[in-house]
A and B are shown apart, each in its own frame.
Chain A
């Protein structure tokens, strides 16, 4: 199968008081239809890699290709539109907008892309049903539990039917039972037209992925396929 996402010689340095080399000439090809888990100790570069793939951050060196098209990191607008259309992001700390209800948090992502409020609300309601939170539509993030917030985050991430889902320790702040529920929702999103990459510290969830990748010394090593 052709790779959908190609990372070639990706390096990322942070110039703080001293130069920190987080990623060192990392190369890897990701395929659609698979779930990849990214393991590694804190500071190994998992989040940095996900930020680069989501085009929120730019690499110091190297190139990223989606579907054989190289990303130009100087085209901010184009990359923002690409991210809105093709990439869904889920963070550890759910990162919902506190002044908006669960429903509004979800439909905002669609509204910004299509500028059609009715369509956005219809899709958001359907997704709330999918994550079993229809009764929480009008609740604010402060009124939701950690697991519920994370389910809202997942619904928001998939409202534009993205081809790539990136999850940065999505179960990191949840208890085991809730984490299993959230992970199952994430797993159910697997399809032949979608690539899912999640970073985790949890070996139990990492082993459930199709490919387990380990971040070692700023590079990525395939543990199993």
Chain B
């Protein structure tokens, strides 16, 4: 009897997965573009470091670490925000409903007295690991780009 409802929920779940995956892809590209701009802005500094004998692997390490620090701290911040949001989701719904005088998640449509929310530590752990791994992977490209810079051009033209 409820097969169409379960089917709709399944579709919704898949769509949510695709949307969230796309958000992660966009975030990953943000890290790449942010680091690439940083490398571009620091071209002269990288050239100076090379001229005093700093090894390419050290330069890779610097930019790689920046990417990892950004990714890890953003993941931690995101988890804190997400968990807080999940805990207080009902309070938030009530606040938004009363403030803007709109009916959010109406009981008569969803047949639920309050907005459901579940904090799943395994999911949080898996999502954190995935985010950090993606950050590590996307930080590699700008880091190698920094190490490949030609110091002569940078010192001459910057």
Q: Which positions in A face B, CB cutoff 8 Å?
A: 51, 54, 56-57, 76-77, 80-85, 87, 89, 91, 95-99, 108-109, 112-113, 156, 160
A156 to B50, CA, bound (A): 13
Minimum Cβ distance to chain A for residue B107 (Å)? 57
Is B56 touching A76 in the complex (CB atoms < 8 A)?
yes
Residues of A within 8 A of B48 (CB): 95-97
Q: How many A-B residue pairs have CB under 8 A?
A: 55
Is A95 touching B155 in the complex (CB atoms < 8 A)?
yes
The 5 A-B residue pairs whose C-beta atoms are closest, nearest first, are A84-B53, A83-B53, A109-B52, A112-B54, A80-B55
Q: Which positions in B face A, CB cutoff 8 Å?
A: 44-45, 48-58, 151-152, 155
Is A112 touching B56 in the complex (CB atoms < 8 A)?
no
Residues of A within 8 A of B54 (CB): 80, 84, 108, 112
What are 30 pairs between A and B in contact, CB < 8 Å?
Answer: A51-B152, A56-B50, A56-B51, A56-B151, A56-B152, A76-B56, A80-B50, A80-B56, A81-B53, A82-B53, A83-B51, A83-B52, A83-B53, A84-B54, A85-B53, A89-B51, A89-B52, A91-B155, A95-B44, A95-B51, A96-B48, A97-B45, A97-B49, A99-B45, A108-B49, A108-B54, A112-B49, A112-B55, A113-B53, A156-B52
A128 to B135, CA, bound (A): 41
A77 to B54, CA, bound (A): 9
Question: Which single residue of chain B is at the shortest CB-CB distance from A95?
Answer: B48
Question: Which single residue of chain A is at the shortest CB-CB distance from B151?
Answer: A56
Question: Which single residue of chain B is at the shortest CB-CB distance from A85?
Answer: B53
Q: Which of B48, B49, B50, B55 has the most CB of A within 10 A?
A: B48
Residues of B contacting A: mostly: helix
Residues of B within 8 A of A54 (CB): 51
A89 to B151, CA, bound (A): 13
Question: Which single residue of chain B is at the shortest CB-CB distance from A89?
Answer: B51
Minimum Cβ distance to chain B for residue A166 (Å)? 10
A45 to B117, CA, bound (A): 71
The residue that A108 contacts in the complex, of B52, B56, B57, with Cβ under 8 A, is: B52
Residues of B within 8 A of A82 (CB): 53
Residues of B within 8 A of A87 (CB): 53
Residues of B within 8 A of A77 (CB): 55-57
Residues of A within 8 A of B58 (CB): 112
Question: Which single residue of chain A is at the shortest CB-CB distance from B54?
Answer: A112
Residues of A within 8 A of B152 (CB): 51, 56-57
Minimum Cβ distance to chain B for residue A129 (Å)? 21
* With A84-B52, A112-B58 already in contact, 4 other A-B pairs whose C-beta atoms are closer than 8 Å: A54-B51, A56-B151, A77-B55, A109-B53
Residues of A within 8 A of B51 (CB): 54, 56, 83, 89, 91, 95
Q: Which of B50, B55, B56, B58 has the most CB of A within 10 A?
A: B55
A109 to B57, CA, bound (A): 15
Minimum Cβ distance to chain A for residue B158 (Å)? 10
Residues of A within 8 A of B45 (CB): 97-99
A56 to B54, CA, bound (A): 12
Residues of A within 8 A of B52 (CB): 83-84, 89, 108-109, 112, 156
Question: Which single residue of chain B is at the shortest CB-CB distance from A99?
Answer: B45
A96 to B47, CA, bound (A): 11
Residues of A within 8 A of B55 (CB): 77, 80-81, 112
Q: Which of B49, B52, B152 has the most CB of A within 10 A?
A: B52
A57 to B154, CA, bound (A): 12
Is A80 touching B53 in the complex (CB atoms < 8 A)?
yes
Question: Which single residue of chain B is at the shortest CB-CB distance from A111?
Answer: B54
A51 to B50, CA, bound (A): 12
